[in-house]
A = this chain, B = another copy of it.
Amino acid sequence: MTAVDRTGYRDVREEILRRIRVKIWTPGVVMPNETDLAAELGCARATVNRAMRELAEEGVLERKRKAGTRVAAAPVRRAQLKIPLVRAEVEATRAKYAYQRLDHQILAAPADLKRYMNAGEVVRLSCLHLADDRPYQVEDRWISLPGVPAARSETFSDVSPNEWLVKEVPFTDVEVTFSAQTATDEIAGLLAQPKAAPVFVTERATWAEGAFITFARLHHPQTYRMTARY
């Protein structure tokens, strides 16, 4: 028996990584082209192509037409960051999820959102997410009414804007930034943290088809951790 397994793109991928680790191919140096490597490894060019393409997406290789493929010299590693729904995030820890709407009004877009939207009204929301009845995250949110007209008639008293938006305006473009900040007294109170505690702040702006949808500022207690496994 001992059926010899075909060399698949995963094998090619591993072989490439191996050769980099063993320093057969070193950072900055051009490696063989797809056709030659395919011949050497005994597979089709498409197979090598897929392996190389994925490694390039991850920042391991740098590819340029005609110039060839080389091991990234100043590697910018790329890791996938998972952005789950708050509810799912909480429930993944076997905790009971709960939601409270704190504030809800409709007003003109504030000045600091002008960077994202030109004009118009917004729904301004403030809410609290809880895990096992303990504060988990404070969410400050602005929803563009020109972008999401349906938000005007929604009260958000039971469903969090997070979840409502996912159903109403799914799969938008997202820009996320993270920072560490000192909690304001209000935030510290809501999160049941001491005054001036450090908070982990996530800011998320989203668009759909180029139209601005929403901006959210999420405050976590300082112990919040997020993991990206490469």
Contact = CB atoms under 8 A, between A and B. Distances in A.
Contacts of A82: 59, 76-78
Nearest to A229: B175
Interface residues of A, number: 54
A230 B76 CA distance: 16
Interface stretch (A99-107, A117-125, A149-157, A193-201): A193-201
B200 A170 contact: no
Nearest to A92: B76
Number of copies of this protein chain within its complex = 2
Nearest to A55: B171
Contact of A180 (B84, B85, B171, B198): B198
Interface of A: 17, 20-21, 26-27, 59-60, 71, 74-85, 88, 166-167, 169-171, 173-182, 196-201, 208-209, 220, 222-230
Contact of A198 (B167, B177, B181, B226): B181
A20 B209 CA distance: 12
B166 A75 contact: yes
A46 B169 CA distance: 29
B60 A171 contact: yes
6 smallest beta-carbon distances between A and B, as pairs: A180-B180, A198-B198, A180-B200, A174-B230, A180-B198, A77-B83
